[in-house]
Structure 1
Amino acid sequence: MTILLCNGPVIPTLVTAPADQPVTLDEAKAHLGVDFADDDGLIDAFIQAATAYLDGYRGVLGRCIMFQTWQIAAPDAGTVILPFPDIIAARQDGTNLTVTETGLGPVVTIAAAGNVTFDCQMPQSQLITVKAIVFMLVSHWYNNRAAGQATQARLPMAAECLIASLRWQRL
């Protein structure tokens, strides 16, 4: 049985992006104590930046936060290690695949080379931690907009700790 790793030459492609952000503009404004609309665009940009920093294949968490669909091109038949945890469903050519959790990560077995499409989303129990991280990042960036001291450039330590608690390591 061949085990195909989904890093290196096999890079996932985003098929369907998340429809929502983990934090709404109203939630972020309430967290910041902002009750005016002048900075809505800026705050929304910070929410999007924080989410992009955390989410997906290139995000520091190495996992998908909100529901999204990805695809990999498996070069051969065999057992394929999927590049994310929290897989909801996987399929190849319209056929549902069984996702098995292993010490290497979630895997599927395919009979032939081809595209494997999979849906993933972080469990609700972990989403509250992501919201806290996004609030911290948005607040930090909102309150430190100008170039300044090196300490302003670093992420808040609490955010770094929470990120570390959710980070998923690929092979």
Structure 2
Amino acid sequence: MRLTIKTPPAAMPLDLQEAKRHCLVEDGDTEDDTLIEGFIAAAVDYLDGPTGILGRAIITQSWLLELETWPARLGLPLEPVRSVSISYLDRDGVEQVLPSDDWILDQYPSRRTVLNMQPGSRPTLQAVRYPVRITIEAGFGSPDDVPKSLIVAMQMLVADWYERRGEMMPSGSRAQLPAAVSMLISRWRVIL
């Protein structure tokens, strides 16, 4: 299995001005803009996509999941799923689209969306490493569509990192999320 991003998010869910206000930095003060933008990117990276702690795409994005063979049942790697299309390389190496009547998506509010193939035979695949290609569009939508609790959690992370940027963690200690951030994101984490 191989997962790669096709279309990254068009925008960040949290803009610089919102983050600066939460960090109590005045709009005219631009000295730390690059630093705060880095903290925004780090917060989004921590939460977003298939490797993020949420298991969700925050802003709409498109991913390509490539498989070695036809799955019977497959938990998709990120939520919320907006659309899915399946293509494959036929025995002659020509890319074909699998009709949508050949599969069903089972979607759950807090669990992985499951792709179930309908019973029956599947087309013969070309003998290459990843002949099955599933394109997944996922995300809440634009920045205005992101749940406010996730925006607040990102603001809190950015502010916490901004305030503690000079602190060193003692050897052997583990950095923990602020409790309020954990509470805000807990309801959005996808259960495997």
Q: TM-score range by the shorter chain?
A: 0.7 to 0.9
Q: Percent identity?
A: 29
Q: What SS is found at the alignment partner of 2:186?
A: helix
Q: Which runs of 5+ in 1 are unaligned?
A: 1-9
Question: Using the alignment, how far apart are the partners of 2:176 and 2:111 within structure 1?
Answer: 32
Give the direction of change, closer, same or farther, for the CA distance of 1:85–1:135 in structure 2 (3 Å limit). Answer: same
Q: Tell me, yes or no, if structure 1 residue 49 matches structure 2 residue 42.
A: yes
TM-score by length of 1: 0.81
Q: Which runs of 5+ in 2 are unaligned?
A: 88-96, 124-130
* Correspondence list, 1:139-154, <5 A: 139-148=159-168, 153-154=175-176
Bigger CA radius of gyration:
2
Residues 97-154 of structure 1: CA deviation (Å, up to 9, x unaligned) = 4533269632333745510001001377762111011000000000001124669943
Tell me the residue number matched to 1:58.
51
Residues 58-112 of structure 1: CA deviation (Å, up to 9, x unaligned) = 1111111110001111332233321122110000235574533269632333745
1:118 partner letter: I
Q: How many pairs are equivalent?
A: 161
Relative to total residues, which structure has the larger helix share, 1 or 2? Answer: 1
* Correspondence list, 1:7-86, <5 A: 10-35=1-26, 36-77=29-70, 78-86=72-80
Question: Using the alignment, how far apart are the partners of 1:104 and 1:33 within structure 2?
Answer: 37
Q: What SS is found at the alignment partner of 1:71?
A: strand
In the alignment, which of 151, 156, 161 is matched to residue 136 of structure 1? Answer: 156
Tell me, yes or no, if the aligned pair for 1:22 and 1:130 is still in contact at 8 Å.
no
Tell me the residue number matched to 1:7.
none
Question: Using the alignment, how far apart are the partners of 1:104 and 1:154 within structure 2?
Answer: 25
2:106 partner letter: T
Q: What's the C-alpha RMSD, in Å, of the aligned pairs?
A: 2.7
How far did residue 48 of structure 1 move? Answer: 0.3
TM-score by length of 2: 0.73
Question: Using the alignment, how far apart are the partners of 1:79 and 1:101 within structure 2?
Answer: 13
Which ranges of 4 or more aligned residues in structure 1 deviate by more than 6 Å? none
